[in-house]
Amino acid sequence: WITDLNEWIKDPTKTNVNYAWDDFLPGVRKSCAWNGQPGGVLGSDDAKQWCIPWGFEQNNITYNKGMFDKVGVSVPGNMDEMVATAAKLTKDVGGGVYGIGVRGSRSWATIHPGFLSAYANFD
């Protein structure tokens, strides 16, 4: 069985003194809460907290604004736009410049190190 964890999260007498719920980003907290309704929005006001974040990975985009302005593209909002923007930057900037660079190798272990991040910060 499962139960709503809010009772424990919101009561300091039931939670470890070193555990600070507000240390987690709101989006991460909401990703573990659901109202149980098909299509229900994660983290809605009527959502129950079904799990707590254990380890997560945050990804971001760092980009060269001058390059984007030169080619006339804007920051992509989804993966399809990311691929199209990278292709346009690679083609239009030229000179051995690629429109995208990612870290690591072609191994899943270096592309998705979520567990490493969680263990690295564990006391």
Is 80 exceeded by the pLDDT of residue 21?
yes
Q: What is the pTM of this model?
A: 0.48
Mean pLDDT, range 40-69, rounded to an integer: 85
Mean pLDDT, range 32-45, rounded to an integer: 92
pLDDT of residue 111: 58
Q: What is each CA distance from 69 to 65, 79, 107, in whole angstroms? A: 6, 20, 33
* Residue 120 identity: A
Summarised one tens digit per residue, pLDDT across range 77-118 is: 888 898 899 899 888 766 778 888 776 666 666 655 555 555
Which residue in 31, 35, 75, 67 sits closest to 51, CA to CA?
31
Q: What is the DSSP letter of 81?
A: H
Is 60 exceeded by the pLDDT of residue 38?
yes
Mean pLDDT, range 64-72, rounded to an integer: 91
Mean pLDDT, range 11-27, rounded to an integer: 88
